Amino acid sequence: MADAKIKVKALNFYYGKFQALKNVKLEIPEREITAIIGPSGCGKSTLLRCFNRMNDLVSGVRIEGEVVVDGEDIYCPSVDLVHLRKKVGMVFQRPNPFPLSIFDNIAYGPSIHHFASRKQFPEIVERSLKAVGLWNDLKDRLRDLALTLSGEQQQRLCIARLLAVEADILLMDEPCSALDPIATERIEELMRELRKKYTIVIVTHNMQQAARVSSRAAYFYLGELIEYGSTQRLFTRPLRRETEDYITGRFG
Amino acid sequence: MKLGNAQVEQKIVFFFLFLSTLIILIPVILVLIVIISRGSSVLNWAFLTAMPRMGMRSGGIFPTIVGTFYLVAGTLVFALPIGIFSAIYLSEYSKRNLLTRIIELAIVNLAGVPSVVYGLFGLGLFVVFLKFGASILAGSLTLAVMVLPVIITASREALQSVPRSFREVSYSLGATKWQTIRYAVLPHALPGILTGTILSVSRAAGETAPILFTVAAFYLPRLPQSIFDQAMALPYHLYVLSTQVPNVRLELQYGTALVLVGLIVIANLVAVIIRSYFRAKKQW
């Protein structure tokens, strides 16, 4: 894959003495949805958090190998973390808007990065909310507290917050696990819509979800990448026995 | 019948728990009743705004109220920034190591030092060594040192009660550590910090020992003109009226006590209101 957006090269990751990722090699294509699946504790969230260096916040971690985003090794000491995290946004498991207004939640990123004047904020807010399909519902209540929204709307707002800082990779860490099935379906629809402009990496417990939204899937077990390929192939003709056991629900 | 015994036991326990709670209330209520019934007769506008007369045996207590306000303001000026900054450092920046442990231990111990020791410390350091003399400056600094550990502890707790997810989101949006603290943590900790600060400072406003050697004047014919002047203060004035001046009317003493308690109650009410206002808004 010559045009890979994210390239992981021989990545080892340790929490103290515990090795959470073992020699992972992976290439994630641009403008597609890549799903990372596997049972709890297999290292899939850890891997996702390597892509925007959120693991840096945890003490006692050690990393070996390379993660290359847009041709740049993000673990190189000269890397600007602010720039990296602007580009590589993250959606968390629980919707986590700040206890501020809808408007201020989206304006948070632009205001800390000073890349727009305050006069442009309404425009940015509108564009971001439109992109996640919230504008029509919320345009008259932008000053309401974001926490008054439904779980689904909150999660959409969190995605809009990333679009406002002009992220182009969206990391989603089980973005629907706190949502009901209908809300889940609608978020999945949004993901398919966003795929046209953004590179999306989703960690999910839910195999149906991976099958529904992703074009490529990676199966992890105990920190190792067991199998990686097109989602359709992986789910219909898995090459490895372990993958088959997991996706058919025989274990995990 | 075993069940019956358990029920009886439960009732007895509840009764004693309730009784203990009631016992806490009794002194509070008694103090208030005594002070109000004996002191309210002298309480009027003139009492609050006039200078004392006839060797403080009549007239008002205006300069003592002013002095106490100056001291409270001075205490806040010194203690609030230092308290908040060090709480931020301890809560957000410091690593868990020996130095941090020692600092934490020091804070806990400082909070337990008797107020008269602070008074002597203030006398030694601010009044004598730094040559501020007995002055509002020296008194405020002494009170500030005394309330600092309480403000730091309250502020740290407020900072640490801000959910981790706020910090995570902020970092994930590319904010620096300071931006995260400034915009995603501090605003949500501020109500807790303010409440803790008001409670601790109002406690300090009623203290006599720390101001005894550092600022309090027995009697001053005029209001303090600068921070290097001595000042009269409510708690010390009350002490003076009760023990140092012969033939003071009882009502005057109780009236002074009433004003002191009233001011502290008002300050605490403000703290409670701030807390409940923000608690109603807070939804995480």
Q: What local confidence, expressed as pLDDT, does residue A96 receive? A: 93
Full-model pTM: 0.84
Give the model's pLDDT for residue A138.
Answer: 94
Q: Does the distance separating the beta carbons of A162 and B174 come in below 8 Å?
A: no
For residues A131-141, give the mean pLDDT: 93
CB A155 within 8 A of CB A131: no
State residue B90's pLDDT score: 93
CB atoms within 10 A of CB B168: 18
DSSP 3-state assignment of A21?
A: strand
The Cα B214–Cα B239 span in angstroms is 16
Q: What amino acid is encoded at B276 in this protein? A: S
- Compute the distance between CA of residue A152 and CA of residue A101 in angstroms, rounded to an integer: 16
Residues 6+ apart with CB under 8 A from B238: B208, B253, B256, B257, B260
* A82, A90, A145: residue with CB nearest B176: A82
Output the six-digit token pair for A68.
Answer: 């290359």
The SS3 call for residue B231 is strand
Going by the DSSP 8-state scheme, the letter that residue A149 receives in this structure is S
CATH number of the domain where residue A25 is located: 3.40.50.300
Inspect the interface and report whether the beta carbons of A54 and B165 lie closer than 8 Å.
no
Per-residue pLDDT of chain B (284 residues; tens, 9 = 90+): 556 788 899 999 999 999 999 999 999 999 999 999 999 998 889 899 988 888 888 888 999 999 999 999 999 999 999 999 999 999 999 888 899 999 999 999 998 999 999 999 999 999 999 999 999 999 999 999 999 999 999 999 999 999 999 999 999 999 999 999 999 999 999 999 999 999 999 989 999 999 999 998 888 888 999 999 999 999 999 999 999 888 888 889 999 999 999 999 999 999 999 888 887 776 55
| Count of domains observed in chain A | 1
ipTM summary value: 0.90
How far off is chain A from B87, nearest CA to CA, in Å?
A: 20
**What element of type H or E holds B181?**
none
Determine the distance in angstroms separating the CA of A22 from the nearest CA of chain B, rounded to an integer. Answer: 25
Residue A44: CB atoms within 10 A of its CB come to 29
Which pLDDT does position B222 carry in this prediction? 87
Tell whether the model's pLDDT for residue A248 goes beyond 70: yes
Q: Can you give the pLDDT at residue B284?
A: 59
Q: Smallest CA–CA separation between A208 and chain B, in Å?
A: 28
What residue spans define the domains of chain B?
45-281
* Closest partner CB to B171 (pick from A83, A85, A113): A85
Higher-pLDDT residue of A83, B2: A83
Residue B58 or residue A19, greater confidence: A19
For residue B1, give the DSSP letter: -
**A33-37 and A199-203 beta bridge pairing:** parallel
**B268: which 2 tokens?**
């605490």
Is A252 inside a domain boundary?
Answer: no
Confidence class of residue A230 from pLDDT cuts 50, 70 and 90?
A: very high
- Which residues have C-beta within 8 Å of that of residue B218, sequence separation ≥ 6? B240, B244
φ, ψ (nearest 5 deg) of residue A88: -110, 95
Residues of A in contact with B173 (CB under 8 A): 85-86, 89, 108-109, 112, 161-162, 165
* Mean of pLDDT over chain A: 93
Q: Is A162's CB within 8 Å of B175's CB?
A: no
Asked if the structure places residue A14 within a domain, the reply is yes
- Between CA A25 and CA A67 the distance in angstroms is 9
Quick one: fold of B45-281?
Answer: MetI-like fold (1.10.3720)
From residue A111, give the alpha-carbon distance in Å to each of A59, A139, A212, B56, B77.
Answer: 29, 20, 36, 59, 30
Of the candidates B281, B279, B121, B115, the one whose C-alpha atom is nearest the C-alpha of residue B204 is B115
Domain that holds residue A228: 4-247
What are the C-alpha distances in Å from B112 to residues A142, A237, B117, B214? 49, 70, 10, 20
- The angle at the Cα of B29, spanning B26 to B33, to the nearest 5 degrees, equals 135
CA A67 to chain centre: 15
CA-nearest residue to A106 within chain B is B173
- The backbone torsions φ and ψ at residue A154, rounded to the nearest 5 degrees and listed phi first, read -65, -40
pLDDT at residue B278, rounded to an integer: 83
A54, pLDDT greater than 70: yes
Q: Please check the confidence at residue A2 and state whether its pLDDT lies above 90.
A: no
pLDDT in tens, A167-226: 999 999 999 998 999 999 999 999 999 999 999 999 998 899 999 999 999 999 999 999
- B120 exposed, middle or buried (CB, 10 Å; 0-12, 13-18, 19+)? middle
Q: How far apart are CA B137 and CA A143, in angstroms?
A: 45
Using an 8 Å Cβ cutoff, are B121 and B142 in contact?
yes
Q: Is residue A72 part of a domain?
A: yes
Nearest Cβ partner of B168 from A83, A92, A108?
A92
Closest approach of B181 to chain A, Cα-based (Å) = 12
Chain A contacts in chain B segment 124-183 (CB below 8 A): 165-176, 179, 183
Residue B83: count other Cβ atoms within 10 Å of its Cβ. 26
- Predicted local confidence at residue A252, as pLDDT: 54
Residues in chain A: 252
Share of residues in chain A with pLDDT > 70 (%): 98
Residue A196 to residue A82: CA distance in whole angstroms: 25
